[in-house]
Structure 1
Amino acid sequence: MRIIIERSNLLKSLAHVHRVVERRNTIPILSNVLLRAGSDTLGLKATDLDIEITESVAAQGEQDGATTVPAHLLYDIVRKLPDGAEVKLSLNGEGTQMTVSAGRSNFRLQCLPETDFPDITAGELSHGFTIEAAGMARLIERTQFAISTEETRYYLNGIFLHTIESEGDLMLRAVATDGHRLARAEMKAPSGSEGMPGIIVPRKTVGEIQKLLGDCAADTEIRVDLSDAKIRFTIGPVVMTSKLIDGTFPDYQRVIPQNNDKELTLDRATFSSAVDRVSTISAERGRAVKLTLADSNLTLTVNSPDAGTATEELAVGYDSDDLEIGFNARYLLDVTSQLSGEEAVFVLADPGSPTLIRDDDDTSTLYVLMPMRV
């Protein structure tokens, strides 16, 4: 193979595909990116056996061919080449080395044959729909912080994506929970998603699709095809195929409180800043912050046996019975950072029951937070 490509185009494509490659691999071929040269395109492919990303980029082909080279090494080389450089990729006669040259820079990389490179065949994907990048990004951003990192409950290590009837409309809903907090976001279901199976998209896949969505305009049309075992995202020239988590997501509806009767309304930014300030007193992550509610007044308190005590008072909208309840400070900050309105609404019951948190003017997202003993 022999092909010439503009450095910025190659760098952008490598940035998309090399991220799925694990830096430490027991299988050498999985450290590599597959390069396939055509007459006017260069195809790139990388995989970790769970996720596969492919992309085609315009190039000037001189001789067709394919090989695989270390993904992170090639990315670092191209990243350090000067802007505007033309990069020439050429394979030696034996196919054991690829030369990367640009101007006076020359690198020779060890190759492994393309025939060794694994292929994740998607199989038949039973459902497909088109969705705007902004809509997909919003579902992910509003929920991904609540994905569990606890490997024992593997079925919580992703976002549960499914359709559901809500007030006469079919909604596409994303849910994530780690058992301590729950995040739910929804939008009107796109045409073609009717009857789709409920799927759990793994945490790594969620992170990769979020990065890809960040690289495209908000109104870009994304194609999503899925079955109960795999999902494929097509974003322009980039195609990402991923395995899904094989498990059953718990009945999250049972966790969402229906009978909480105490409503607290507060300024989101002021509250978030106050939580951040009082939690400074403790170096311990996850320190509980106590919320004391009485007569339209909220007192935030953090006690640290080693450092001392911090309190701050806020004027809030609250006219129910006096209440003391504790929450993990970090979880409170995570939730309030997802809210987009000026005011946040907390719907509470008692110190031992889950609390519902939502935007004052946005019904499409809600959050549930389990209290802590204080």
Structure 2
Amino acid sequence: MRLVIERGELLRALGHVTSVVERRTTIPILSNVLLVAREGTLEFKATDLEREVIESVAADVQQPGAVTVPAHMLHDIVRKLPDGSQVDIRRDAEKERLTLTAGQARFALQTLPAEDFPDIGIGEMGQEFELAAQDLKRLIDKTRFAISTEETRYYLNGIYFHTAQSDGETRLRAVATDGHRLAQVELPLPGGAEGMPGVIIPRKTVHELNRLIEDSAAGVKVAVSPAKVRFEIGSVTLTSKLIDGTFPDYGRVIPQGNDKEMTVSNAEFISAVDRVSTIASERGKAVKLNIQPDKLVLSVNNPEGGSATEEIGVEYDAQPLEIGFNAKYLLDIASQLEGERACFKLADPGSPTMVNDPSDEAALYVLMPMRV
């Protein structure tokens, strides 16, 4: 195996694939990246047995071949090479070494056989469709903050992607919840997604996917099977196992009869919550909302740290209501709203509250109250 590749191309591809490589693993080959040199291209593959990332870049391949080398070490070496340098890579099969040469710098890395590298991407995927990168990013951005980190409720440790009926139309919907808050966002059903199985995409995969589509303007090809999901983003392919569990019937916690409606300037609300919560204790970040016609008083009382109140104007014409929420959860939800106004639909101090942006009917949030 022998090839020459530009340092920037090599670094970019390694940056994409090494993020799934665990720094500590009991299986040595999982610390490695698989390099496969073919005519005109160098393919990179990395996996943690749950996720797999593959990327191909252009390279001047003089002798095809395949080998695995320590992923993070290779990434660190390439990161420290001079910008614009040409990297000569060749494998010495006798010494089981891979040598990298750039200018006067030369490195020799230990290798493991390419044929021992695991492949989780094989198998039929079934359902395939395409999404705009920004549409997929929106589904992720507006829901991932609500993913549960509680390992015992593993079926909540991801985003539930599925088709759902909304206003007589079938739509693609993403839902995440941790039992304290729920985020639901939907968009028109892409062609080819009809009848797709509901799948729970794990938290790590969600974060990896979000990173990969960060600067992509192209479409994302999605392939789904009951056990795996695959995303093709330009030259990068991310394959992941799905969470093997049943997502709860989240529709039961979305309130239908909340008849008290408060509309407030979202920017004012975020600033006020942020200010008064400064005084809250780390253990109980509760903020009390005292809602009256045309005004909202936010207050925090911390026996150890003091108290804070702030009053802002709102649109509200129902019975006065006092209700408490976790300040961080309030800010998480309010920061997802893109419009100038936030609409709160409330029932009583013990029932869940629905929050949405009046200018965006495709997203809604539910927040459980706290005792204050």
TM-score category by the smaller chain? over 0.9
**Residue number in structure 2 paired with 1:133:** 133
Q: Give SS of 2:360's match.
A: coil
Matched residues in 2 for 1:285 and 1:273: separation? 21
**Residue number in structure 1 paired with 2:273:** 275
How much does 1:235 deviate? Answer: 1.1
**Residue number in structure 2 paired with 1:369:** 367
Q: 1:340 aligns with which of 338, 341, 345?
A: 338
Structure 2: state its 5+ residue gaps: none
| Counterparts in 2 of 1:166 and 1:113: CA distance versus 1, 3 Å | same
Name the TM-score, length of structure 1 as normaliser. 0.98
How much does 1:79 deviate? Answer: 1.0
Tell which deviates more after alignment, 11-20 or 98-107: 98-107
How much does 1:121 deviate? Answer: 3.6
**Residue number in structure 2 paired with 1:19:** 19
**Residue number in structure 1 paired with 2:223:** 225
Q: Give SS of 1:214's match.
A: coil
Name the aligned partner's letter for residue 77 of structure 1.
Answer: I
Q: Deviations over 1:291-331 (max 9, x none)?
A: 00112110111111211001111011111101000000000
Runs of 4+ that moved beyond 3 A = none
Q: Give SS of 2:163's match.
A: strand
Identity %: 61
Name the aligned partner's letter for residue 116 of structure 1.
Answer: D
Does the CA contact (< 8 Å) of 2:290 and 2:322 recur in 1?
Answer: yes
Does the CA contact (< 8 Å) of 2:42 and 2:58 recur in 1?
Answer: yes
**Residue number in structure 2 paired with 1:237:** 235
How much does 1:39 deviate? Answer: 2.1
Q: Give SS of 1:264's match.
A: strand
Does the CA contact (< 8 Å) of 1:44 and 1:54 recur in 2?
Answer: yes
Matched residues in 2 for 1:41 and 1:303: separation? 62
* Coordinate RMSD, CA, aligned: 0.9
Does the CA contact (< 8 Å) of 1:122 and 1:230 recur in 2?
Answer: no
Name the aligned partner's letter for residue 192 of structure 2.
Answer: G
Does the CA contact (< 8 Å) of 2:52 and 2:121 recur in 1?
Answer: no
| Counterparts in 2 of 1:272 and 1:32: CA distance versus 1, 3 Å | same
How much does 1:198 deviate? Answer: 0.4
| Counterparts in 2 of 1:285 and 1:223: CA distance versus 1, 3 Å | farther
| Counterparts in 2 of 1:95 and 1:196: CA distance versus 1, 3 Å | farther
Q: 1:284 aligns with which of 279, 282, 285?
A: 282
How much does 1:203 deviate? Answer: 0.3
**Residue number in structure 2 paired with 1:9:** 9
**Residue number in structure 1 paired with 2:356:** 358
Matched residues in 1 for 2:201 and 2:52: separation? 14
Matched residues in 2 for 1:93 and 1:333: separation? 57
**Residue number in structure 1 paired with 2:44:** 44
Tell which deviates more after alignment, 350-359 or 59-68: 59-68
Name the TM-score, length of structure 2 as normaliser. 0.98
